[in-house]
Amino acid sequence: MALHHSIYHSPVFQQACTQFDAAADILGMDAGLRERTKRPRRCVVVSMPVRMDDGHIEIFEGYRVQHNLSTGPAKGGIRFHQDVTLGEVAALAMWMSWKCSLAGLPYGGGKGGVIVDPRKLSTNELERLSRRYMQEILPFIGPNVDIPAPDVGTNEQVMAWMVDTYSNHQGHFDPGVITGKPIALGGSLGRREATGEGVAWFVKAYLQDLHIGAEKTTVVIQGFGNVGSEAALALYDWGAEVIGISDYTGGIHNPKGIDLKAAIAYVEQNKTLQGFPGGEAITNEQLMELPCTVLIPAALERVITEQNAGKLKCRILAEGANGPTTNEADQILSERGDILVIPDVLCNSGGVIVSYFEWLQNLQNYYWTKGEVFDKLYRMLAKAKASVDETQKKYNCSHRTAALVLGIARVAEAKAKRGLFP
């Protein structure tokens, strides 16, 4: 059966497959190896009955997709969102395979998701759901099998409930099964900031390549969650002017610069940017089209489309989110030729790299300082950037295709060397 007609059928999964095929063509992969490398290894679908605060039972559906296990245990976050689909989770798991491979991590790609709006749950309901999800996927995960982490709609506290549930079943505390945990439970210093810091690092590195200094840099960020806010702070501290931010309720624009610390404090208190007095209220659509040096989509996938790609007014598009640019939009940006795209599998890899550091620290029971974490992180980011830039020039292709060529090649080689069993 053709993969695009499978259970994973969705626009975002088709997007991931099209990206894969472009890189596989450059690599000259034969049909058999191509399908083996593309196709998810395992998919777990779980039904989770949860008792709500009012006493009634709610049934939630969740997924865990392990895309690749040939290069190590699966690695990838758990998303709690009302629009989660199996195809979306499968696509995200595929991108995690290439991201881990590109960064040189001993992991395959995985991803999890639950169809729920966590904002509508009480703290107790969220805990019950988190523990129930872990209970249901428990036979398929472990420090050497599959290592989840936070994603959209989940956080350190959710990870704490999950690692506690897993450990209770093991009969001993086993922190290496989850990353993105609180520090008190074996989390790594720097993990919370890592994805956003990594995005900012790549932005600064590519701005330097373009000979654009901080004083000439304006930044717009779509998505003001953990990734977006940390990237914004890092670029602000560097000297750039952040002129636009947004969340699911809409955006804020201030051409003179937004007071980021005030914005973060406002969101912490109000759980939304809506009503923030530090600028003009605009829609997310308007925000994406603001003139700026750097545009960072840092929320969900498929927000840059053929409808708005021609209207972008940035010099650099830094993909803090996974899959934010559709294939049609990618083609438009390629034809335009005036926007440098830092692809997701490179740009937001800081999070999974420091997750790897957290896992290592858990296995060794030896913990590093924040300075040590970031020193190691920046060295790995620099190595990945150099490899992508070299490959981009070698094949005269986009940075996205270059990054995918590197990531896919390692996974395909591992599959070919291991062979078929039985």
Phi-psi region at 181: left, alpha or beta (left = phi > 0; alpha = psi -120 to 50): beta
Give one DSSP letter per residue of 394-411, joined into a string.
Answer: HHT--HHHHHHHHHHHHH
Note if 417 is an active site residue: no
The contacts of residue 147 (CB under 8 Å, 6+ apart) are 73, 74, 75, 107, 110, 141, 176, 177, 178, 179, 355, 359
Residue of 361, 345, 355 lying closest to 194 (CA atoms): 355
**Choice among 38, 111, 181, 385 that is catalytic:** 111
Residue of 331, 253, 336 lying closest to 289 (CA atoms): 253
Q: Helix H segments across 289-349?
A: 327-336, 344-347
- Return phi, psi of residue 61, to 5°: -110, 140
Three-state SS for 39? coil
Q: Return d(Cα 84, Cα 45) in angstroms, integer.
A: 12
Q: Return d(Cα 231, Cα 209) in angstroms, integer.
A: 19
Give one DSSP letter per residue of 169-207, joined into a string.
Answer: HHTS--GGG-SS--GGGTPPTTHHHHHHHHHHHHHHHHH
Q: Return d(Cα 252, Cα 236) in angstroms, integer.
A: 16
**How big is the CA angle at 152 (ends 387 and 262), to the nearest 5 degrees?**
95
The kind and range of the H/E element at 24 are helix 11-27
Three-state SS for 62? strand
Active site residues: 111
